[in-house]
Structure 1
């Protein structure tokens, strides 16, 4: 009995229970936010036709897309400096800081949306909640903190698999949460307001997550001597994969990886962020349950991406895996341009089955190009770069969607596919450079053994 309790306590002190609670809370919050925004769009105050008694579909689409544009822009800008500050604090030994502080932001966001529903507050209140969430570091700091802990606790050979394993847990939890969210949104909503129960559950999970990070989460501290010894062992033992930077930083590869990540995320997030708005209009016109299933499809993509990494990495390099993922997303999102029915939507998403391979693999490659002492700031710099890119692609995709709504609503998805194809160019260059470096390394080793 004592042994079992100790085993349970040991598991609870790991990062996995924290990720499970955070994903449940975040998924329920996002599902509720989507439907609350849709409900409020019915009362949009700026109809295209002033003489109309009810807002037109175009005015509702403008209300929804404008809300998300401002909301996402705040989420892009606000975390930049706090995330960098938290990363530096983390690299100085306070590894919990980039995880604990953003979790407070998650809690206040779900609590604020609950108050908006209960007291019928204006949706603009959520802009303030988004700003507070960003100032706490947001997902940028939180996920970088999680990836830093994983990087410190794994070898270069197993790092991409370890990162994808966390993505798998995160996606599996999101799948369950999204499938349930549509049904929970409609529970006990007649008097208190639609989504009240779902938001209460979300707030509770976020509070539990915050308490877990303070009380239970155990962080293994790795000294500089340990990281140097680990790097030396990896360098001597493995030649078939890139290892961590033993001296300086390969600046060319780092720049190319940053460029590829920014292009890919611009195409990926720019289009995926518009999907909730796209499916709320005719001819799809989804309800809360269908929205939950649509969000669950995104979680399934993480599962299939993880399985692809397990299967393909035996015969493919990291660069090739990234290209496979980018090609998968480009084909699926291009097909999304012509979706007019629900079954076509899920068919297009099925083509995206490997679409979430690129970003964690790019993080893995980046961590192999820098010393262990710079993991936190490097991974956070990547996240910050993606946030800066969001300042361009979020308003661009929103305005392009609004301008093309009447003649080709799927044009933004075609644009996204084009950006993804462009992102494949720097990754191809990194792959060629890595292959050449690996061949040179093997030749030098053989020459050294002969001597």
Structure 2
């Protein structure tokens, strides 16, 4: 008892719950992912390049035709690879989300990180033992059977939402994205140099893939041994008003703003049956907007990896690493955007700002001829991350915290399915149009992104 009196600071210690921070897991996982993404692209390019050179020695063909053949081979590889990555999580992700909600929040994160680690080991073994590139399909399947990114990211978002109040949730989730982006930026910048360390060697990319496996291992063991689940922030005891309870806000998301909710609390309570319908409608509209926007983003990112390898850019390994790193800068700029915009704008407005930012950048990307033009287009996309993160935040304000795992994993699976269809469609469009207008896919993404504003607005 005397100890309690002489140690008045003891009651403050529980606030410093460092072990509940998900950021170390996110950072190490994303470094591993960014190293893997660059390594996968360059290893696949080298594999198909070796095949083409052996064929070229027997049948002479123009250099341009050889490059087009290599581009089509890489594109076809990614079509199958993305199908495996996108479809296999359907077998396990929802079940992991249910288990996380029912038993322990770390289940979906830990199992998905195990699959993540196994897929990185697959690339390492391919490089080390010179296996055929097709073995990477099996590595991707192991990743998907562990829940893939759908189970992993829904688990991360659930933990992030649990440990934050509604008023600060958008900032909390975008801060997690910021950590992810900063880690991805560092990993991408280093990836080209790590790959070049073994350039010209029969085991090209060995150091890069070994580093990816190391970071993935750290993320898994940290999750199992160190990470603790934060306690849910207690919600106000008063029932929040229905989304349509304020005149002039039907069909919008203005009442998702916590400040607006406090101001509207005097309006009164409505019957639960009456308020359930508009909430479901809003969630459905958020789903539609997220899927349309994700379609545009995934299509652009998939084609961009191929676009930078051929003329007119024809990037080398280091330039590829820098190019991928430029994509991660939007995590930083989007965080700063939410930090500022959340003070003046509501969720709907922030989502639309992000969509316009990406759509404008994608349109510029369609006409890129020089490297500096590529970076200008990427700069215009500086708020491209805001929409999906803000949509997740908005959804979390409309559902119970006991349903976070299931709802987030359904959203993530919807985005994964969209990614599968998009990857196949865009890769085929790219193959058909790269000789006519190589920016066709980027222009299409711009149009779709602008259309995604309709269900949000």
- Same fold, judged at TM 0.5 (above): yes
Question: Does the Cα contact within 8 Å between 1:110 and 1:203 map onto a contact in 2?
Answer: yes
For residue 270 of structure 1, the aligned residue among 294, 299, 303 is 299
Residue 390 (structure 1) shift: 2.4
How far 1:91 sits from its partner (Å)? 0.7
Deviations 1:62-84 (A, max 9, x none): 01111111111111111123110
Matching of residue 289 in structure 1 with residue 318 in structure 2: yes
Alignment partner of 1:98 is 2:115: no
Please report how far the alpha carbon of residue 262 of structure 1 lies from its aligned counterpart in structure 2 after TM superposition.
Answer: 0.7
Question: In structure 1, what is the equivalent of residue 439 of structure 2?
Answer: 410
Q: CA deviation at 1:177?
A: 1.2
Q: Deviations over 1:150-197 (max 9, x none)?
A: 111111111111000100111111111111111111114554521111
Give runs of aligned pairs for residues 34-113 of structure 1, distance below 5 A.
34-44=41-51, 51-52=59-60, 56-113=66-123
Evaluate the alpha carbon distance shift between residue 122 and residue 220 of structure 1 in structure 2; reply closer, same or farther with a 3 A threshold.
same
Give the secondary structure class of the aligned counterpart of 2:167: coil
Cα deviation, residue 232, structure 1: 2.6
The match for 2:342 is 313
**Partner of residue 169, structure 1:** 179
Selected match of 2:25 from 18, 31, 35: 18
8 Å contact kept, 1:48–1:59: no
Partner of 1:184: 194
How far 1:93 moved relative to its partner?
2.9
Closer, same or farther in 2 for the Cα pair 1:12/1:427, shift >3 Å? same
The residue number in structure 1 matching 2:396 is 367
Residues 241 and 185 (structure 1), Cα distance of their counterparts in 2 relative to 1, 3 Å cut: farther
Give the corresponding residue for 2:415.
Answer: 386
Contact 2:19 2:228 in 1 (8 A): no
Q: Which moved more, 1:321-330 or 1:169-178?
A: 169-178
Which residue number corresponds to residue 331 of structure 2? Answer: 302
CA distance in 2, matches of 1:35, 1:191: 14
Bigger shift: residues 386-395 or 265-274: 386-395
Q: Select the residue among 260, 266, 273 that pairs with 1:240.
A: 260
Matched, 1:426 2:455: yes
The answer to whether the 8 Å contact 2:111/2:146 transfers is yes
The aligned counterpart of 2:228 is 218
Q: Evaluate the alpha carbon distance shift between residue 50 and residue 391 of structure 1 in structure 2; reply closer, same or farther with a 3 A threshold.
A: farther
Give the 3 Å change call, closer, same or farther, for CA 268–238 of structure 1 in structure 2. Answer: closer
Structural RMSD (CA):
2.6
Cα offset for 1:318? 0.6
Change in 2 beyond 3 A, CA 1:91/1:12: closer
Whole-Å separation in 2 of the counterparts to 1:195 and 1:389? 31
Deviation at 1:333? 0.4
Q: Cα offset for 1:43?
A: 3.2
Task: Point out 4+ residue stretches in structure 1 off by more than 6 angstroms.
Answer: 46-50, 242-246
Supply the distance in 2 between the matched residues of 1:195 and 1:49 (Cα, whole angstroms): 25
Native 8 Å contact 2:240 2:261 kept in 1: no
Residue 280 of structure 2 is aligned with which of 236, 251, 254? 251
d(CA) in 2 for partners of 1:195, 1:10: 39
Structure 2 CA distance for partners of 1:220 and 1:11, relative to 1, 3 Å: closer
**SS where residue 411 of structure 2 aligns?**
helix
- Consecutive unaligned residues in structure 2, runs of 5 or more: 1-9, 242-256
| Alignment partner, residue 135 of structure 1 | 145
Q: Which residue of 2 aligns with 1:230?
A: 235
1:266, 1:393 within 8 Å by CA — same for their partners in 2? yes
Q: Does 1:334 align with 2:341?
A: no
TM-score scaled by length of structure 2: 0.86
Partner of 2:430: 401
Question: CA separation of 1:50/1:388 partners in 2, compared to 1, >3 Å: closer, same or farther?
Answer: farther
Deviations 1:421-445 (A, max 9, x none): 11000000xxxxxxxxxxxxxxxxx
Give 1:12 deviation, angstroms: 5.1
C-alpha distance in 2 between matches for 1:407 and 1:107: 40
The count of aligned residue pairs is 418
Contact 1:44 1:59 in 2 (8 A): no
1:196 pairs, out of 193, 206, 225, with 206
CA 1:379–1:49: 2 relative to 1, 3 Å: farther
Query: Cα–Cα, structure 1 residues 188 and 52, in superposed 2: closer, same or farther, change >3 Å?
Result: closer
